[in-house]
A = this chain, B = another copy of it.
């Protein structure tokens, strides 16, 4: 066969590279598998560290295959052609995200280039004990951060149409800064930001929030930090309301809370995510919480129920949504129904779970308290 499985990507940008090597470097990395062995090729700048840190069978030093000492750009083609020829490799089964231009260049050098399956490492979605524990640790930290926001909301006072914390007008920016500092001290990084939105901002699930935190309005706190130590993520959402919530908002909250319970009760190995998502949608519909274009804007349950989580906040697999995806033992997935209506606001509640044969374990625990009076 003489086929190598081959990735060329930045481990900070493509978690599959990190997954395969346990090595982080700021520039793209060559990784390949051949005859059951794992290799990376790096230049002198990374060689020392790679030898120490990379969990592969062999670290190849690019300079042994080229004359240049600085080979960043011409690296892959020139060096890998020499290496692949030496190994007798003729077919490259590349990562689905392999750069198209590079694939073309290898094809010109007479390699047969075929796309590897997606996901490239199917086993990545089923977490082992180390990974599960790493996620639990990250999820605990996530809840500490949500707890910090709740604490500030508890300490705050409503005056008129504003909220004050220690006599300062409370804003989304202040809360985010407090969370980010907490994250930092715990050695977590927000690789794609965080959401602390209030009022009208909550109607758009990806609006990360800005400006005043207002009383009697929904406050969505969605935090998804990545551990700098293990590189595994946490992800959780709570919706709060400082002061009494209007009745429609109270109802929205209890509906979403119940929907999450429905989702959690259905999860187990063998079930199709689509079934779970369908049950929640049906539940919402049955109460008149419809989804679709309302007065020109998409409203209702306008996102999936859950996404896989691991080295990335949004891992490719599994999903709980409109697409078929059968859950397996060891899958870690979020359960986060939400409802978003212009005239009421947005509510989302999210936990992550570990799928078992008979159900699921919720990873990390945090109360679901809505109104903070």
Contact = CB atoms under 8 A, between A and B. Distances in A.
A26 B206 contact: yes
Interface stretch (A69-77, A81-89, A129-137): A69-77
Contact of A44 (B177, B184, B302): B302
Contacts of A250: none
A314 B95 CA distance: 23
Contact of A298 (B44, B71, B191): B44
Nearest to A180: B184
Contact of A177 (B63, B69, B116, B185): B185
Nearest to A105: B115
A283 interface: no
A304 interface: yes
A12 B70 contact: no
A109 interface: no
Interface stretch (A45-53, A212-220, A328-336): A45-53
Main secondary structure of the interface of A (DSSP, over half): loop
Given A25-B206, A73-B319, A99 B96 contact: yes
A204 B323 contact: no
Contacts of A102: 96
Nearest to A301: B69
A19 interface: no
B73 A100 contact: no
A70 B304 contact: yes
Contact of A69 (B73, B96, B302): B302
B181 A321 contact: no
A104 interface: yes
Nearest to A9: B97
6 contacts: A26-B192, A26-B313, A46-B206, A48-B298, A70-B321, A180-B184
Q: Which 3 A-B pairs have the closest CB atoms?
A: A96-B101, A44-B298, A70-B322
